[in-house]
Amino acid sequence: MPSTFGFINAKLLFCLLVISILYHSAFVTSKPTGFSLRAVIDDSPESPLYLIENLTIAERLERLIKISYARVNYLNLVSSGDAKLVPDNIRIPILRDALYYAVAFTIGSQGHPVKLLMDTGGGLIWTQCLPCTNCFPQKLPIYNPTASTSYATLPCSHPLCNGDRRLYNCEHGRYCVYNAQYGGGASTSGIASTEAFHFFVDQRSTHPFNVIFGCSYDSRDIAFMNTDISGIFGLSFSPDSMASQFSALIQHRFSYCLAPFDDVTPRPLVLRFGEDIPQLPPQSVGSTQLIASPTSYFFYLGLKDISVAGHRIGFPPSIFQIKPNGLGGFFIDSGALFTHIDADALGGNAYAEVLKVFAAYYGSKYLKQTGASPEGFELCYERPPNFDEFAALTFHFDESVYTVNGQYMHVIAPNFFCVGILKGSSVSVLGAWQQQNKRIIYDGGRGVLEFADENCMNDIA
């Protein structure tokens, strides 16, 4: 497998650390078929990964650009079919720095606290287990399955371990095992198991959910060593993800609302499931169909065209379609920090066409391009005092449009700003930066993505 990007050191921005601790201050609220997990952001003082004060604006920006590229490079492998979901080649990208989110829960009959990085693009759920063959250091105690009366190994007869569509392998006719290999040499392997995961159903009480997860005994070169994080919590369409395992309970629906990243002290966010997702006024909600891919479990959308500052570019409808080899297409991913537009799309360089319109707009404002710009951003301008006429961008779907406010379409500093789009290589992605102050609802049951403008600062646990 190519190792040019080492994505184990760059997991998604909106990967969520799924924590669960039986404390009154971090809780999951619930309706009969829904619940919420409180998320703690890496840049928040509540997070064990708090790093914001150690970086200058320029250093942070360049690091986030590299993270976003690493994420999308990983996704290219998966969507092309070069990275298949088989036991020896499981792909789970991991972001080491910047803008993590964390939620809390406990596992097992002993109520063992764990913190897991939640991956909206992956399925496997795993945590380190005793006894370790090779475990990375973590600050929380390592989970011991022998101490839990609710722990069991997954039988080899289970569909996830048996048949042509299995994700794991049966070893010695007794154990269902997995071996996840990551770019950059990182890996984790262990035994597929079941355990009671305890989520709060109100502010004081929890409810156990029997979850299929990986008990990892051998993990190497993991980027989040020496933190509280002990593994991954997947939320994709993959059969072993949280969303898939509990699709009957939550209707395969989950939702988040990203508060603006320029908030000086980022606030905890809420990942919502099922009926706990707020009901939005129908007139304010946009929606578009989720498009299935034969090679991946990502959330593809049927993008038809793009407008910049009210100017519709007029792309051929096929330019953002998935190619026969599995590459191309357009999907939403909270893990890619910035939006990527494909420079190798079907029928042309969509990235260049979009930047051309931005350049024309700012040329009409007589703005001067900066002599140097952060690596990755090709279009940056000096910012005159009080300038705020930033161009908005609209994604056109068959059913509706998704408009990104000009403020969230750019990375804005006091003296300069950059168009917040990166060059895509065989893929286009709607990144998290362009999801700020949007209610995003993934409705896998109906095969629909819903979205609406919202003040996400109000979406707190």
pLDDT of amino acid 57: 60
How far apart, in Å, are the Cα atoms of 105 and each of 201, 210, 313?
11, 13, 47
What is the helix (H) or strand (E) element at residue 57, kind and residue range?
Answer: helix 57-80
| Distance from C-alpha of 416 to C-alpha of 334, rounded to nearest angstrom | 26
**Strand, helix or coil at 284?**
helix
What's the token pair of residue 230? Answer: 């002990």
Residue whose C-alpha is closest to residue 421's, from 313, 342, 309: 342
Contacts of 268 (CB under 8 A, 6+ apart): 38, 39, 40, 41, 44, 46, 460, 461
Residue whose C-alpha is closest to residue 250's, from 5, 21, 446: 446
| Distance from C-alpha of 261 to C-alpha of 457, rounded to nearest angstrom | 11
pLDDT of amino acid 284: 92
Q: In which region does residue 184 sit, left (phi positive, over 0), alpha (psi from -120 to 50) or beta (all else)? A: left
Q: In which region does residue 42 sit, left (phi positive, over 0), alpha (psi from -120 to 50) or beta (all else)? A: alpha
**Consecutive 10-residue averages of pLDDT for the chain (461 residues):** 33 38 34 57 46 58 65 54 34 31 79 82 87 92 97 96 92 91 74 89 72 95 80 83 79 83 65 82 94 83 97 93 87 83 90 97 96 81 95 95 97 92 91 92 92 88 59
| Distance from C-alpha of 222 to C-alpha of 284, rounded to nearest angstrom | 42
Residue whose C-alpha is closest to residue 87's, from 118, 120, 117, 126: 126
pLDDT of amino acid 92: 22
Strand 401-404 and strand 16-20: the pairing is unpaired
Q: What is the pTM of this model?
A: 0.76
Task: Fill in the amino acid letter for 332.
Answer: I
pLDDT of amino acid 308: 98
Which residue is it, tokens 């910049």?
308
The neighbouring-strand residues paired with 30 are 35
Q: How many helices (H) and strands (E) does the chain have?
A: 4, 30
| Distance from C-alpha of 108 to C-alpha of 399, rounded to nearest angstrom | 45
pLDDT of amino acid 432: 84
pLDDT of amino acid 96: 30
Contact call for residues 252 and 290 (beta carbons, < 8 A): no
pLDDT of amino acid 268: 63
Contact call for residues 442 and 250 (beta carbons, < 8 A): no
DSSP 366: T
From the CB of residue 2, how many other CB atoms can be counted at a distance below 10 Å?
A: 10
pLDDT of amino acid 439: 95
